Amino acid sequence: MPIFLARLLARIAALGTWWTPVIVFTLVFATSWPLMALAEPDGSAVVQPANYWWYFVVTAATVGYGDLYPESAAGHAVGAYVIVGGIATLTTVFTRLAGAMERARGRRMRGAVTVDSSGHIVLLGYTPGRTEQMVEELLADGTSRIVLCAWDDVATHPMPAYGEQALVFVRGDLTDEAVQRRAGVHRASSVLVDARDDNEALAVALTADHVARGAHLVVALRDLGRARHLRYVRDSLRCVQWHGTHLITEELKDPGLTEVYTELMTHGGAETYSVRLPDALGPVEAGHCHATLGRRFGATLLAARSGDALLVNPAWESELPAGAVLYYVGDRRLTPDEIGHALRPAP
Is 184 in contact with 124 (CB distance < 8 Å)?
no
Q: Which pLDDT belongs to residue 11?
A: 53
303 exposed, middle or buried (CB, 10 Å; 0-12, 13-18, 19+)?
A: middle
Q: Angle formed by the axes of helices 73-110 and 49-60, to 10°? A: 50
Helices (H), 111-171: 130-140
Query: For residue 276, what pLDDT band results from cuts at 50, 70 and 90?
Result: very high
Q: What would the pLDDT profile of 166-179 be if each residue is shown by its tens digit?
A: 899 999 999 999 99
For residues 331 and 125, the model is more confident at: 125
**Can you tell me the distance from the alpha carbon of 225 to that of 246, in angstroms, rounded to the nearest whole number?**
20
Is 294 in contact with 331 (CB distance < 8 Å)?
no
285 exposed, middle or buried (CB, 10 Å; 0-12, 13-18, 19+)?
A: middle
Query: For residue 206, what pLDDT band results from cuts at 50, 70 and 90?
Result: very high
**Can you tell me the distance from the alpha carbon of 77 to that of 80, in angstroms, rounded to the nearest whole number?**
5
**Can you tell me the distance from the alpha carbon of 248 to that of 130, in angstroms, rounded to the nearest whole number?**
11
**Can you tell me the distance from the alpha carbon of 273 to that of 328, in angstroms, rounded to the nearest whole number?**
5
This prediction's pTM = 0.62
**What separation, in Å, do the N-terminal and C-terminal C-alpha atoms of the chain show?**
105
